[in-house]
């Protein structure tokens, strides 16, 4: 069975074709431009490839409620042309196959749960720390949707007392909340605070202690709230691998022994991990969404 997959990011679209075992056989990527043009390229990509279902993990916010008249739409993004765009309907008009549809981070969590670092566990969280911060939630064998969908990247964080820029407390950059997690710890927040891109800062720069402080808080909150069996940290900023031990230490200090689990006290190196699927987590997750839509994915039980 050949399944199509789309990882729709705010800056780039990745389209691919894969099989039931999660192997990506082919992929292509192009910039996320104006919606009509971008969808045209995606349709062109799948034309003639014989896919029997297509899964999509999209940047958002998106409408995930099948009973809603705007199911499959991008809802309120500031990205020009995309707010209110009927993403799913546009593809449905081109291909008469079942479609899977979810957020980009939920897709990545699903991919990791099926074939990656959280395989067989029944629960995991996928954090992306990049241009934005997003948290995908896979719990009790299902992706969490709820009222809209989780927006953990904007959770409120406690500010670090020494977090200053230009002699003032750093106010954060989220246009909605200022100093939420994304406002304090996304790639652009690092760049705004230090006036250099994160990739240009040395490994021992004070930026990374602050970054670990904020991401560590968010992961701590997530552990307390959802008790996931694995936490996967991906995205461009997490290419700074020195962050992993720093974040693990923050979490252990925050929890202070309260959550009684060997995964935290003794094996945290295996609990807080990079994506098992590397940069393909999102695309593999979209593939898994397609397989599920085709009725070919067994639901995992915890
Ligand atoms: P996106 O979130 O747009 O899908 P990425 O996950 O690659 O893409 O995140 C891009 C952000 O990550 C940018 O703000 C960039 O500065 C930052 N970034 C990318 N690589 C690194 C790195 N090696 N170290 C620190 N920050 C990085
Ligand atoms: Zn915010």
**Protein residue with its CA nearest to atom 27 in ligand 1:** 237
User: Does a structural domain hold residue 218?
Assistant: yes
* CB 124, CB 81: distance < 8 Å: no
pLDDT band for position 299 (cuts 50, 70, 90):
low
User: Does a structural domain hold residue 257?
Assistant: yes
* CB 121, CB 230: distance < 8 Å: yes
User: Does a structural domain hold residue 171?
Assistant: yes
> Do 97 and 135 reside in the same domain of the chain?
no
Q: Which of 55, 74, 103 is the last residue of a domain?
A: 103
b/e per residue 255-271 (b: at least 16 CB within 10 A): beeebeeebbeeebeeb
Whether cis (ω within 30° of 0) applies to the bond prior to 61 is yes
108 contacts: CB under 8 Å, gap ≥ 6: 57, 126, 128, 136, 232, 234, 275, 281, 282, 285
> Do 259 and 147 reside in the same domain of the chain?
yes
> Do 65 and 127 reside in the same domain of the chain?
no
* CB 153, CB 134: distance < 8 Å: yes
pLDDT band for position 99 (cuts 50, 70, 90):
very high
**Protein residue with its CA nearest to atom 8 in ligand 1:** 130
Closest atom of ligand 1 to CA, residue 132: 2
> Do 216 and 87 reside in the same domain of the chain?
no
User: Does a structural domain hold residue 108?
Assistant: no
Identify which of 134, 197, 236 to mutate to test ligand 1's pocket (most ligand atoms within 8 A of the CB). 236
What is the per-residue pLDDT for 236?
A: 96
* Structure tokens, 280: 């393909």
CATH code of the domain containing 96: 3.30.420.40
Q: How far is the CA of 19 from the centre of ligand 1 (A)?
A: 29
Mean pLDDT of 250-265: 97
Residues spanned by the domain of 180: 117-274
Please report, rounded to a whole number, the percentage of residues in the chain having pLDDT higher than 90: 96
> Do 122 and 248 reside in the same domain of the chain?
yes
pLDDT per residue as tens digits for the range 50-73: 999 999 999 999 999 999 999 999
Q: How far is the CA of 115 from the centre of ligand 2 (A)?
A: 31
Tell me how many domains the chain contains: 2
> Do 121 and 230 reside in the same domain of the chain?
yes
Mean pLDDT of 154-173: 96
Average pLDDT in the chain: 96
User: Does a structural domain hold residue 50?
Assistant: yes
pLDDT band for position 298 (cuts 50, 70, 90):
low
Q: How far is the CA of 15 from the centre of ligand 1 (A)?
A: 20
What is the per-residue pLDDT for 300?
A: 52
User: Does a structural domain hold residue 71?
Assistant: yes
Strand 54-58 vs strand 3-8: parallel, antiparallel, or unpaired? parallel
CA dist 131 → 81, 99, 142, 209, 236 (Å)? 19, 27, 26, 19, 8
What is the per-residue pLDDT for 91?
A: 98
> Do 195 and 125 reside in the same domain of the chain?
yes
User: Does a structural domain hold residue 35?
Assistant: yes
Strand 3-8 vs strand 12-18: parallel, antiparallel, or unpaired? antiparallel
> Do 149 and 243 reside in the same domain of the chain?
yes
**Protein residue with its CA nearest to atom 7 in ligand 1:** 236
Mean pLDDT of 245-261: 98
pLDDT per residue as tens digits for the range 177-193: 999 999 999 999 999 99
Question: What separation, in Å, do the N-terminal and C-terminal C-alpha atoms of the chain show?
Answer: 27
* CB 89, CB 56: distance < 8 Å: no
Residue 288 to residue 282: CA distance in whole angstroms: 10
**Nearest to 68, CA basis, from 89, 49, 95, 51:** 89
User: Does a structural domain hold residue 110?
Assistant: no
**Nearest to 131, CA basis, from 75, 62, 205, 199:** 199
Is the confidence at residue 301, as pLDDT, over 50?
no
> Do 194 and 218 reside in the same domain of the chain?
yes
> Do 129 and 170 reside in the same domain of the chain?
yes
Mean pLDDT of 127-140: 97
> Do 234 and 87 reside in the same domain of the chain?
no
206 contacts: CB under 8 Å, gap ≥ 6: none
Report the pocket of ligand 1 as residue ranges, CB < 6 Å.
9-11, 128, 130-132, 187-188, 197-199, 235-237, 239-240
42 contacts: CB under 8 Å, gap ≥ 6: 6, 13, 15, 91
- Quote the longest CA-to-CA distance of the chain: 59
* Structure tokens, 301: 């039980």
> Do 122 and 191 reside in the same domain of the chain?
yes
Residue 124 to residue 138: CA distance in whole angstroms: 5
Closest atom of ligand 1 to CA, residue 234: 6
Residue 241: left (phi > 0), alpha (psi -120 to 50), or beta? alpha
């Amino acid at each position: 069975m050949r399944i199509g997959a789309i990882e729709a990011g705010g800056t780039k679209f990745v389209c691919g074709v894969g099989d039931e075992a999660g192997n990506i056989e082919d992929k292509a990527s192009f910039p996320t431009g104006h919606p009509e043009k971008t969808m045209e390229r995606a349709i062109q990509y799948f034309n003639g490839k014989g896919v029997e279902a297509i899964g999509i993990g999209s940047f958002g916010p998106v409408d995930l409620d099948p009973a809603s008249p705007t199911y499959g739409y991008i809802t309120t993004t500031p990205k020009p042309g995309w707010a209110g765009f009927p993403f799913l309907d546009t593809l449905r008009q081109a291909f008469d196959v079942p479609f899977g549809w979810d957020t980009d981070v939920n897709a990545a969590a699903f991919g990791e749960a099926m074939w990656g670092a959280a395989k067989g566990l029944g629960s995991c969280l996928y954090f992306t720390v990049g241009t934005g911060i997003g948290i995908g939630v896979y719990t009790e064998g299902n992706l969490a949707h709820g009222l809209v969908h989780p927006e953990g990247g904007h959770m409120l964080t406690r500010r670090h007392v020494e977090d200053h820029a230009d002699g003032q407390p750093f106010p954060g950059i989220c246009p909605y909340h200022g100093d939420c997690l994304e406002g304090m710890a996304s790639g652009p927040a690092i760049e705004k605070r230090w006036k250099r891109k994160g990739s240009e800062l040395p490994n021992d720069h004070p930026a990374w202690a602050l970054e670990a402080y904020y991401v560590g808080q968010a992961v701590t909150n997530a552990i307390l709230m959802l008790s996931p069996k694995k936490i996967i940290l991906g995205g461009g900023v997490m290419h700074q691998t020195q962050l992993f031990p720093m974040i693990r230490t923050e979490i252990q200090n925050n929890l202070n022994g309260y959550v009684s689990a060997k995964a935290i006290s003794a094996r945290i190196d295996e609990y807080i991990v990079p994506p098992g699927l590397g940069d393909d987590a999102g695309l593999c997750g979209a593939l898994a969404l397609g397989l599920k839509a085709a009725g070919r994915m067994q639901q995992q039980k915890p």
